Amino acid sequence: MKFYVEEFGAKADGETKDTEAIQAAIDRCFQEGGGKVILERGTYVSGTLYLKSGVYLEIAPCAVLMASPDIEDYGDDTHHNRYRNETGLDRCFIYAQDAENIGLTGYGEINGNADAFPNGGSIYRPMMIRLLRCKNVRLENLKLYNSAAWTTAFLDSQFIWIKGVNIWNEKKYNGDGLDFDGSSHVWVSDCFMKGTDDNLCLQSSSRAFPVEEIHITNCSFTSTCAAVRIGLKSVGTIRNVVISNCTMKNVYREGIKIECTEGGDITDILIQNIAMYSVRRPVFIILNNRFELEGYGTSVELKEIPAIGTMKRIMISNITAVDGDEMKKINYRFSGDAMGSPKFNGIRVDANDAYPIEEMTLDHIRYQSAGGVKKEEIPAFYPPVVDRLTQPEAESSENYYPDWSRAAFMDIRNVRGLELNRIVLSSEKADEREPYIIENCEVVRQDIKYQE
C-alpha cells in the first residue's frame, strides 16, 4: 500500500512543520500492515519521526525531508548514545526501536539542518538516524546531508542493506557517516561519504551482540578523521569483516584504523583492493587497554580498565597509497583543531609486548609518502604500549599519541606471526627517519623494498 503524506495534511512548503502529518502516515501504514509512506515533492520540515515495522519511508527525487531547527521538536525518548560524556548526542531525527522490515529509500534528500545547531557544548544536536534492535533494514539511494551530529547509528541490529547512499556531513563535529555497534549481517556498497569524523565505524560496546558478517565494497571515503574504523568501542567481539574495492581521498588521519582497546576480540578481518590518495596514515592498528572515566570515547558500559583483549588473523592486501599536496602540510578541522602533519604519518602497528597481535599479513602494498621530515622534529623517546592494569600512570603509546612517527613509512611492533610480502616504499622528498622499523616481532616472511 502507498500513503502520500499530503493526504494527511503535509504542506511541504519549507516552513510549516509537517511532523504530525508524516507521523500520522507512518502510523496508518503500520496499522494497515505495512507499505510505503511517500514524500513526493517539496521540502518537508519535521522533528523526530518514529519508523515502525513494515513501513518504508520513500523520499522522492524532488523531495527534501528537512530537520526542524528547534530542539524541542525532537523526542527525549530516543536516548541510547553509547559514548561516555556525550549526552548532547542523545536526540535524533529519525528513530526506530524493535522494528523489522523497515527502510528509508528514494532518490531524494534527508537534510539534518546542521546550520541551525551549535558545533559543540552541552546543547543537544540531533543525530540524523538511529535504529535500535531492528531487523531487515534497507537504506538506499538517498542523499544524507548536513547532519548536526552522526549521520547514522545502527545499534544491536541485524540484516542491514545500505546501497547507493551519498553522505555529506562536514559542518559540525561528530560528523560520522555510517556507525554500526552490536550489529551483524551488514552489506554496504556503492556509497560516497564525506565527513568531519570517521566515515564508517564498526564497534562492539557489549558482549551480548557480536559484530560479525560485515561486507563493505565499492565505496568512496573522504574524512578529516578516519575513513574506516574498526573498534575503539570493543568490549565485545568484532569478527568476519570483508572490506574491498574502495577509494580514500584527503583523509587527515587514518585510512584503515583497527583499535582493540576495551578488552574484547577483533579477529578475521580481510581488507583488499584499496586505492588511497592523500591519506595521512594508510593503516593504523593497536591492541591496548584504556579507560577514561571523564573523557570522551569510552563505552558507557565499561566501568573499569579492562584486561588487554585479543587481535588476530588480520590480512590487508593490494593497497596503493600516494601522498598528494594535502599531506605536505598540517591539516586542520574547523579553526585550530590540528588533525595531522607530515611527521604523523605512515603504517603503524603496535601492541603491548606481553599481549602481541597474532597472525597479521600485509601483502602487495605500495606507499609513496610526502617525506621531508627532519630528525630534529622527532623526540628521542618513543613510548611502549603499556598495560594500564599494571602501570596506570605510565607514559604509553595510545590511539593518538605519540603525534609523530619514528619511521618514515612503517613501524610494526609486537606481532607474532607477521607476514610482509611485496611491500614497496618511496617518498617524494628525502626523509631522515628510518624507512621502517620491525621490532619484537615473530616474522614469517619479510619482503620490503625501499626506493630512495
Report the CATH number that the domain containing residue 170 is assigned in CATH.
Answer: 2.160.20.10
Is residue 331 in a domain? yes
Is residue 73 in some structural domain?
yes
Cα three-residue angle 218-222-227, rounded to 5 degrees: 75
How far is residue 167's CA from residue 186's CA, in Å, rounded to a whole number?
A: 18
Nearest partner of 231 among 271, 200, 197, 273, judged by Cα? 200
Q: What is the DSSP letter of 141?
A: S
Residue 296, pLDDT score: 75
Flag whether pLDDT at 372 surpasses 90. yes
Query: Among 48, 47, 24, 46, which Cα is nearest to 37's?
Result: 24
DSSP state of 433: S
Residue 159: phi and psi, rounded to 5, are 60, 80
For residues 179 and 203, membership in a common domain is answered with no
pLDDT at position 399: 85
Does position 122 have pLDDT exceeding 90, yes or no? no
On whether both 331 and 305 belong to a single domain, the answer is yes
Mean pLDDT of the 283-288 span:
98
Q: How far is CA 130 from CA 74, 78, 205, 250, 350, in A?
A: 13, 8, 16, 27, 33
Do 363 and 388 share a structural domain? yes
In a domain, 192, yes or no: no
Q: Total domain count for the chain?
A: 2
**Within a domain: 77:** yes
Question: Domain boundary residue among 160, 187, 214?
Answer: 187
Choose one of 153, 187, 221: the last residue of a domain. 187
Choose the final residue of a domain: 187, 219, 254: 187
Q: Grid coordinates representing 450?
A: 625501499
Are both 157 and 279 inside the same structural domain?
no
In this prediction, residue 293 has a pLDDT band, given cuts at 50, 70 and 90, of confident
Mean pLDDT across 113-118: 95
Does 157 fall in a domain?
A: yes
Q: Report the pLDDT value the prediction gives residue 451, as an integer from 0 to 100.
A: 87
Q: What is the pLDDT of residue 124?
A: 84
Clarify whether residues 17 and 112 are in a common domain: yes
Whether residue 379 sits in one domain with residue 281: yes
- Residue 18: which domain range? 1-187
pLDDT in tens, 207-264: 999 999 999 999 999 999 999 999 999 999 999 999 999 999 999 999 999 999 999 9
Quick one: 183 and 202 in the same domain? Answer: no
Q: Does residue 88 or residue 308 have the better pLDDT?
A: 308
Taking only the tens place, the pLDDT of each residue in 273-283 is 999 999 999 99
Look at residue 326 in the predicted model and tell me its pLDDT.
95
Q: What is the pLDDT of residue 89?
A: 84
Q: Evaluate whether 238 touches 314 at the Cβ level (below 8 Å).
A: no
pLDDT surpasses 80 at 161: yes
Q: What is the pLDDT of residue 292?
A: 84
For residue 193, being part of any structural domain is answered with: no
CB 231 within 8 A of CB 205: no
Lowest mean pLDDT among 57-61, 289-293, 323-327, 359-363: 289-293
Do 206 and 155 fall within a single domain?
no
- The pLDDT of residue 337: 87
Same domain, 216 and 175: no
pLDDT score of 44 more than 90: yes
Phi/psi at 73 (5° precision): -85, 0
Q: Is the pLDDT of residue 419 over 80?
A: yes
Q: Are residues 144 and 241 in the same domain?
A: no
Q: Is residue 217 part of a domain?
A: yes
Structure confidence at residue 448 as a pLDDT band (50, 70, 90): very high
Mean pLDDT of the chain: 96
One domain for residues 124 and 211:
no
Q: Are residues 179 and 224 in the same domain?
A: no
